[in-house]
Amino acid sequence: MQELTHYINGAHVKGTSGRFADVYNPATGEVQAKVPLASVSEMDQAVAAASAAQPAWAAVNPQRRARVMMKFVDLLNRDMDKLAEALSREHGKTLPDAKGDVIRGLEVVEYCIGAPQMLKGDFTDSAGPGIDMYSMRQALGVTAGITPFNFPAMIPMWMFAPAIVCGNAFILKPSERDPSVPLMLAELMEEAGAPKGILQVVNGDKEAVDAIIENEVIQSIGFVGSTPIAAYIYAEGCKHGKRVQCFGGAKNHMIIMPDADMNQAADALVGAGYGAAGERCMAISVAVAVGDDTADRLLEKLVPKVESLKVGPYTAGDDVDYGPVVTAAAKANIERLVQTGIDQGATLAVDGRDFSLQGYEDGFFVGAHLFDNVTPDMDIYKHEIFGPVLSTVRVPTYEDGLKLAMDHEYGNGTAIFTRDGDTARDFANRVNVGMVGVNVPIPVPLAYHTFGGWKKSVFGDLNQHGPDAFKFYTRTKTVTSRWPSGLKEGGEFSIPVME
C-alpha cells in the first residue's frame, strides 16, 4: 500500500493529521494508495513557505519567469508517457485521453510563455504639465486552487501556470481521488527552475478547503467542481476578502437541425457524450433533434455506434473508447439516474445496465446508455449525470431547441450541427451559454482564448486561461509622476485639473 504525501517547500512531506483517503484503481476497484488529508496547521505551513518565497520570485523579471515555463513544457513532453500512465491508473481514462489531459494543460503553459507581453502596462507621456502616468500589473502574492478529479493534469495547469508566471506563489489542493499527477507536476516545476515554495501541493478534503478560504495570506482562489460547492467557495471566499473564480456544473445541449450531416452528428455525439465515460464538464449529454424525422435518422446512425463502443481498462490498448468512472459511488449514482429515466417514461434505446467486463467485475465500469423521448421534467434531463448516458430530446422547431438550451439552469457549453449559416449565426448570437460550437461538439477554446460558462456554471467575472488569467492573477497599480523641470515654490491646496 503506497502512502502519498504533500509537497511543501520543495520536499515530499508525510501527512501529520492522521487522516487519510483511499485512492482506488477504478478498473479493479482495489485501493492502491492512501493520501493524507491536511489539517489547518499543515495548510498554514505551506502558506508560510509560499509567503516567504513569493517576493523574490515576483522580483524576477517576466522574461526569466517565462523561461521557466519554456523548460516546463520540455519536461512535460519528456515525461508525457509517465504522466499519462499515472493519470490513467488513478482516474481510469484511456491512455490517449490521459495524454490529451496533459496536452491541454501544456498548451496553457505555452501561452504563459508570452507573459512579458501580457504583463506590460500602459504609459501616458505628459498627461499634465510635467506629469507622466503609467500603470503596472503586479502579482497578488499567495494564490490557491482547488481542482477536480476529472482533469487532474489540465485544470491544475490552467490555474498554476498563469498564477506563477505572473509572479505569485500557488497552493494546489487537488482532488483526493487522483492526486499523484499534481505531485509530479510540482516536482517538474521545480526541475524547470521555479524556486522551492512557489508551487506546493496540499492534499485534503473540506478541512483543507476551509483552511484556504480562511487563511488571510491567500489572496485568490480558483475552483472547478460541482455547482453547490462552487457557490459555497465563492460566497465564503468573497466574504473573506479574496478574489475568487469558481466553475460549476453543466448540462450541455447539442442541437441537430434537419439539414445536418447525420453521420457527422452521430460521430460527434458518440465522442462528446461517451468520451472519458462522460466525466467531462464539456460533455454533450443532451441531443436535441429538431423534428421527428431528424430524430429517427439520428437514432438510426447513433444506436449502432453506441452499441459498438469498447469499454475497458487503459491497459487494454488505445482502441478502448472509454474506461471506468472514478468511484463506486459515482457508478451507483449514474445507475440510479438511469433507472429514474426508465421510471419516468423515457425510451432506453441502448441499455447498458447489464454491462460486465470479465476479470474486472469489481471495477467501476458503466455500460453506454442512450435514451430517446426524454422530456425536460425528467431527472435525467435536469441533473448532470457525469457518466456515459446520452439523452435525446425531440422538439418540433429550431426555436424550441434554442429555448431548451437557454432555459436550463446551466450555461457551460452548447453546440449546433447544421449546414445553414444563418441558423448557426443566429444560434451563436442568441444562446445564453458561455462556449458555443458550430459543427464542433466540444467547444473548449484554445489556450489563447478564455474558458468559462454562464448562469449557474460559473461564479465570478473572469474566465480561465487566455487574457483573463493574467487579469485574475494580477492587480493593476497606476502611478502619477511629476518631475518639475525647475525649482517650484509654494504649495498647492486643490486637486489639479486639466486646463
**Three-class DSSP labels, the chain:** CEECCEEECCEEECCCCCCEEEEEECCCCEEEEEEECCCHHHHHHHHHHHHHHHHHHHHCCHHHHHHHHHHHHHHHHHCHHHHHHHHHHHHCCCHHHHHHHHHHHHHHHHHHCCHHHHCCCCEEEEEECCEEEEEEEEECCEEEEECCCCCCCHHHHHHHHHHHHCCCEEEEECCCCCCHHHHHHHHHHHHHCCCCCCEEECCCCHHHHHHHHHCCCEEEEEEECCHHHHHHHHHHHHHCCCEEEEECCCCEEEEECCCCCHHHHHHHHHHHHHHHHHCCCCCEEEEEEECHHHHHHHHHHHHHHHHCCCECCHHHCCCCCECCCCCHHHHHHHHHHHHHHHHCCCEEEECCCCCCCCCCCCCCCCCCEEEECCCCCCHHHHCCCCCCEEEEEEECCHHHHHHHHHHCCEECEEEEECCCHHHHHHHHHHCCCCEEEECCCCCCCCCCCCECCEECCEECCCCECCHHHHHHCEEEEEEEEECCCCCCCCCCCCCCCCC
Catalytic residue among 112, 166, 246, 281, which? 281
Q: Is 281 annotated in the active site? A: yes
Query: CA 89, 92, 95, 100: dihedral to nearest 10 degrees?
Result: -110
- Give the strand pairing for 284-290 and 454-455: unpaired
Burial-class residue 377 by CB neighbours within 10 Å (0-12, 13-18, 19+).
Answer: exposed
Q: CA–CA separation, 197 vs 174, rounded Å?
A: 17
CB 134 within 8 A of CB 478: yes
As annotated, the active-site residues are 281
